Structure 1
């Protein structure tokens, strides 16, 4: 292994390595090369120059001699053992250069430099896609409810929204994806027994091809107030089977494992689809859910990454107006920006201001909106100087745009919600303080879910 000399000014740290590597990559690109910057799981860089179809131009003939020492010096410990490679010198160059995960440098998306990031966890934050339609063309709308930090009322809001949508005739499925802190399944059960199995069982059993026949959804005991609504639940953990220890922690220790042909992200997607198919099989009408609510784990975690980036049509991002919230979302948005996935994910996001206190003239919500806009500006497009934003194709909502992702949907703070037992308290959704707290949230969230152009047209 080559040990690079320490650059002047002190050691190179992780965050400094990327801009240094890309600066040299763009310098080579300016001389006529297509360059792929590959970062390994500990953050070390290799610049792979594509010379597969034509030789490099004269300014790059002495590529290794000119740029190899500069990379070692600029990157220090974040230079790989071979920080500069030609594609023609690698047996597996095509697998890297043609990888679907290689994205243009978001700072210069029209240039000749791309980035391939390899990580141990969190890689699915950069793999954005939209759920596919069913074979018959129908679409189940999936909404992820997520918070960067816990304790902001996300699961309670999921339960309230689930009943509200069911009352309006929708067939609703709530899936508890908070595996480390399961709970929404019990909140929504309304007295019904949990299913024998849960999402955790599908994740574990599917890793060994043994998921067929799991009983991992059940119908809630909640009776809707009209229409054809049904409320179904897929709990994180089931009730188990008599005489057999459930061993939840043992299952959790294996749930995130990537196995050949069945990595975690794929298995989580399969688990969600299996829950939807089970509802279609067991519901009164034999129909798939109209709406699926994914109660996601908080934090920058692989479950949240898959739920938001791959599984949902809409992501409701919960938060309170404090430094921790905005620092956390800032880090998350920066990851989408650096991976080049910001345009694919930003329009399905919407902020939820939870536990909003009473404040003079709505000062709290205005502050929340202002801070949210500052963070979302990372994801929005810059409108060129001299171009009217209404004449531009750029996605750049104004601060005051009430339909924009940064504009908060409020849930008011009501003291009665503290300590309210949604499991045992009868008729809790009819209490005045509950209705006051969710007065604005429910109609706006319902409109965002049911009016989405990709979903089916209302209750079927």
Structure 2
């Protein structure tokens, strides 16, 4: 490595690139350009407007010295006339505006995993209430809290459907379903099935079972993570998990995981059979947890001081949303 090139860390890479643009081309140019981080974590910038080639070369020189290995090798600094630059500039028109030191810049963050955390959950015009039970740490009583709320709503006359989106460690299906009445299929099956065919071909009733929680009140229905079909063919469980989070094929709905989750909830809400949807999410900051949170109209996050991992995870999640979408969680 050349002596004038310094090592960089992920957290500093974008800041150093913005500073390099500002140093050479000025603050205004730094703020009106679009910054991009690829799936490997390397950063680049597309400069807007007409820029002298000598300025571009100087920015690259400074950026290489400051950003180091986190600067893209190919086209680290582009102008409007370069290949692919206009596409990024157009995408930047709707990209989040993030604060980088004293600058506010347009930032596109490419991700292979964790892309669902980039989805902003906006207000929904209609639909029944949807409540997600999520936690950063497992074993804190998330599923138990859902069961208590479902029972209370049932006794209040509300028809409830609870969906287990903790696909890799299912819980409420075995906890709350009437013994011997587990559905043939579950949420895992629905999300995989809808990825390869039109969801309208799927009968929602095949994925839903009854719960004993509704025996003394309004009906409580459960969509377990898995059904009897997976229990009979356990060798298919991991095969389905390996496919559920990827983008659906063109033969299916062609949608990402969070979009298929949202469509499933919309379908249940529009059926007229339920008054409330409860969602049991996976613990941690997994892709599936993002989908379970992004389907909400509003987010409310109760925070406990201990254990410490909960606080770190909540801080990471909250600051990511504020950073990318400029809103409080």
Secondary structure of the equivalent of 2:47? strand
Q: 1:11 to 1:244 in 2, by over 3 A?
A: closer
- The aligned residue for residue 80 of structure 2 is 87
Q: Find the aligned partners of 1:7 and 1:232 in 2 and give their Cα distance.
A: 64
Cα deviations across residues 57-105 of structure 1 (Å, max 9, x unaligned)?
xxx6632122110011111101102211002222x33332222662112
Q: 1:316 to 1:13 in 2, by over 3 A?
A: closer
Pairing 1:23–2:36 present: no
Task: Report matched runs for 1:8-157 at 5 Å.
Answer: 11-27=7-23, 28=25, 30-32=27-29, 34-51=32-49, 55-56=50-51, 62-81=54-73, 82-90=75-83, 92-99=84-91, 102-107=95-100, 113-130=105-122, 132-133=124-125, 138-157=126-145
Which among 187, 192, 196 is matched to residue 208 of structure 1?
Answer: 196
Q: 1:6 to 1:139 in 2, by over 3 A?
A: farther
Q: Find the aligned partners of 1:231 and 1:194 in 2 and give their Cα distance.
A: 14
Structure showing the higher helix proportion among its residues: 2
Which among 302, 308, 313 is matched to residue 287 of structure 2?
Answer: 302
Task: Report matched runs for 1:141-220 at 5 Å.
Answer: 141-191=129-179, 193-209=181-197, 211=199, 212-214=201-203, 215-220=206-211
Q: Find the aligned partners of 2:243 and 2:291 in 1 and give their Cα distance.
A: 17
Q: Find the aligned partners of 1:157 and 1:242 in 2 and give their Cα distance.
A: 26
Whether the 8 Å CA contact 1:145–1:318 is kept in 2: the answer is no
1:24 shift after superposition = 2.6
1:223 shift after superposition = 3.4
Q: Find the aligned partners of 1:13 and 1:188 in 2 and give their Cα distance.
A: 47
Q: Find the aligned partners of 1:230 and 1:310 in 2 and give their Cα distance.
A: 23
1:143 shift after superposition = 1.1
Q: 1:31 to 1:200 in 2, by over 3 A?
A: closer
| TM-score relative to the length of structure 1 | 0.63
1:23 shift after superposition = 2.1
Q: Find the aligned partners of 1:191 and 1:320 in 2 and give their Cα distance.
A: 38
Whether the 8 Å CA contact 2:7–2:67 is kept in 1: the answer is no
Q: Find the aligned partners of 1:37 and 1:48 in 2 and give their Cα distance.
A: 6
Displaced runs of 4 or more, over 4 A: 241-246, 315-320
Q: Tell me, which stretches of 5 or more residues in structure 1 are unaligned?
A: 281-286, 347-460
1:317 shift after superposition = 4.9
> Could you say which structure has the larger radius of gyration?
1
Q: 1:46 to 1:222 in 2, by over 3 A?
A: same
- The aligned residue for residue 420 of structure 1 is none
| TM-score relative to the length of structure 2 | 0.86
Q: Find the aligned partners of 1:63 and 1:184 in 2 and give their Cα distance.
A: 60
Q: Tell me, which stretches of 5 or more residues in structure 2 are unaligned?
A: none
Whether the 8 Å CA contact 1:171–1:290 is kept in 2: the answer is yes
Superposition RMSD on alpha carbons, in Å? 2.7
Secondary structure of the equivalent of 2:207? coil
Structure with the larger RCO, 1 or 2 (CA within 8 Å, 6+ apart): 2
Whether the 8 Å CA contact 1:142–1:294 is kept in 2: the answer is yes
In the alignment of these two chains, the number of paired residues is 318
